[in-house]
């Protein structure tokens, strides 16, 4: 009889977040306790061939093999097979993802396999072993992903985006904590420094000035915001931020709802300090992770 296992775990996180984190092969040595390294051998938008190497076992043996993995994001399915089968005649794996609620996802792993006649263990033994290990790894993944959604994110722990001017950091986003309705961050502006003009086709933006004083040009009309004050920037309203104080300004921003895709989030209407003429849609995708 062919070996078959079927295991699942329910994770308190949105499907996109679970999908992206669990299919980031390069992070697997941290996500799984059993893998020492992952080497990507070939990669495309919908597939990857890679070598997995496990931590040494109790006898000091280091197991390694090559697998191929393909993604169907629309269908919520990942299929994998061992290219180097080792003790298996074959090993085929299917991961499926199902939304149970807005912030709850079921991840299921099914595996079908058959052991070689000269393998050190039989199919029954391997079935029991995979079931035990899958439960352990799934619980580890659940804990890590749920903890990541509650992470405290510091200004200096995320990449800077300086393309439009200032030092802009996206702090809470779909990419790092799995937010589903918007994202927020902050920008530091030196005296006289500006964030170049742009607008958001899908999102409102909420600005709060923590320190300094800024001028926001809304469709060319200037509005001054002192410290401890806030301003709404409606959808499709062109806006430019300029620090008009003599101290560094810290401006906190939030955008909601999310654009249908990250590259649609912003439209630049003038060039930033690091590039040539605008008008470009989505030029700031690095600042609008999703």
- Among the residue ranges 186-195, 197-206, 243-252, 273-282, the one predicted with the least confidence is 273-282
Q: Rounded to the nearest 10 degrees, what angle do helices 15-22 and 123-149 cross at? A: 120
Name the more confident of 1 and 67.
67
Same structural domain for residues 131 and 197? no
Confidence of residue 277 (pLDDT cuts 50, 70, 90): low
Output the CA angle 84-81-126, nearest 5 degrees.
80
Residues 19, 117, single domain; the answer is yes
CB of 168 within 8 A of CB of 222? no
The 10s digit of each residue's pLDDT in 189-237 is: 999 999 999 999 999 999 999 999 999 999 999 999 999 999 999 999 9
Taking the CA of residue 68 as centre, how many other CA atoms within 13 Å lie in the half-sphere pointing to its CB?
A: 8
Range with the poorest average pLDDT among 59-63, 66-70, 114-118, 158-162: 59-63
Task: Let me know whether 133 and 32 are in one domain.
Answer: yes
What is the predicted pLDDT for the residue at 147?
97
Q: Which pLDDT tens digit goes with each residue over 94-146? A: 999 999 998 999 999 999 999 999 998 999 999 999 999 999 999 999 999 99
Q: Are residues 26 and 144 in the same domain?
A: yes
Is residue 238 within 8 A of residue 256, CB to CB? The reply is no
- In a shared domain, residues 29 and 160: no
The two structure tokens encoding residue 285: 């995708």
Residue that is last in its domain, among 103, 122, 149: 149
Same domain, residue pair 138 and 176: no
| Same domain, yes or no: 18 and 69 | yes
State the pLDDT at residue 290: 28
Residue 125 belongs to domain spanning: 3-149
Length of the chain: 290
Q: Based on the number of CB atoms within 10 Å of its own CB, is 287 exposed (0-12), middle (13-18) or buried (19 or more)?
A: buried
So what's the pLDDT on residue 59? 82
Statement to judge: residues 7 and 79 lie in one domain? yes
169 in Cβ contact with 198 (< 8 Å): no
Domain end, chosen from 149, 175, 199, is at: 149
Rounded Cα distance between 128 and 142, Å, is 21
Q: How far apart are CA 176 and CA 260, in angstroms?
A: 18
Which SS3 state, helix, strand or coil, does residue 26 take? helix
Count up the domains in the chain and report the number. Answer: 2
Find the CATH number of the domain harbouring 28.
3.30.530.20
Residue 52 burial class via C-beta count within 10 angstroms: exposed 0-12, middle 13-18, buried 19 and up: buried
Helical (H) or strand (E) element with 179: none
Let me know: does 215 contact 189? Beta carbons within 8 Å. no
What's the pTM?
0.85
Average pLDDT for 30-36: 96
Same domain for 75 and 206: no
Structure tokens, 221: 């009309």
Q: How confident is the model at residue 284 (pLDDT cuts 50, 70, 90)?
A: very low
Torsion-angle region of residue 17: left (phi > 0), alpha (psi -120 to 50) or beta? alpha
| Same domain membership, residue 202 and residue 128 | no
Give the pLDDT confidence score for residue 287 in this predicted structure.
36
User: What whole-number distance in Å separates Cα of residue 268 and Cα of residue 264?
Assistant: 11
Q: What share of the chain is helix, strand, coil (3-state, %, to 5)?
A: 20, 45, 35
Strand partners, 170: 185
Examine the domain organization and report whether 248 and 276 are in the same domain: yes
Structure-token match 């949105």, residue found = 14
143 and 22 co-located in one domain: yes
Q: Which helix (H) or strand (E) holds 129?
A: helix 123-149
Query: In CATH, what number is assigned to the domain containing residue 278?
Result: 2.60.120.10
Q: Of 149, 169, 184, which marks where a domain is finished? A: 149
Quote the CA–CA distance of 115 and 123 in Å, as a whole number.
Answer: 5
pLDDT band at 275 (very low <50, low <70, confident <90, very high): low
Distance CA 251, CA 247 (A): 13
Instruction: State yes or no: pLDDT of 257 exceeds 50.
Output: yes
């Amino acid at each position: 009889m062919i070996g078959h296992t079927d295991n699942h775990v329910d994770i308190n996180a949105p499907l996109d977040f679970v999908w992206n984190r669990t299919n980031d092969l390069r992070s697997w040595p941290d996500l799984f306790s059993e893998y020492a390294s992952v080497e990507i051998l070939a990669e495309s938008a919908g597939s990857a061939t890679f070598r997995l190497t496990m931590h040494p076992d109790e006898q000091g043996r280091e197991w390694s093999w090559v697998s191929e993995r393909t993604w169907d994001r629309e269908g919520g399915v990942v299929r994998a097979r061992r290219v180097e089968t080792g003790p298996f005649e074959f090993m085929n794996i299917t991961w499926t993802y199902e939304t149970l609620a807005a912030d709850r996802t079921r991840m299921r792993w099914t595996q079908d396999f058959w052991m070689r006649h000269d393998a050190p263990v039989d199919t029954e033994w391997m079935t029991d072993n995979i079931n035990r290990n899958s439960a352990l790894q799934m619980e580890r993944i659940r804990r890590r992903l749920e903890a990541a959604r509650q992470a405290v994110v510091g200004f200096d722990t995320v990449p800077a985006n300086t393309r439009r001017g200032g030092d802009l950091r996206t702090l809470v986003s779909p990419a790092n904590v799995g937010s589903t309705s918007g994202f927020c961050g902050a920008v530091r502006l030196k005296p006289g420094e500006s964030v170049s003009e742009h607008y958001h086709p899908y999102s409102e933006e909420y600005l709060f000035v923590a320190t300094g004083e800024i001028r926001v040009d809304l469709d060319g009309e200037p509005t001054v915001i002192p410290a401890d004050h806030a301003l709404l920037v409606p959808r499709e309203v062109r806006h430019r931020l300029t620090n008009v104080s003599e101290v560094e300004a810290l401006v906190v921003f939030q955008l909601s709802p999310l654009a249908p895709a990250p590259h649609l989030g912003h439209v630049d209407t003038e060039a930033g300090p690091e590039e040539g003429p605008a008008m470009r849609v989505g030029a700031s995708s690095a600042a609008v992770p999703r």
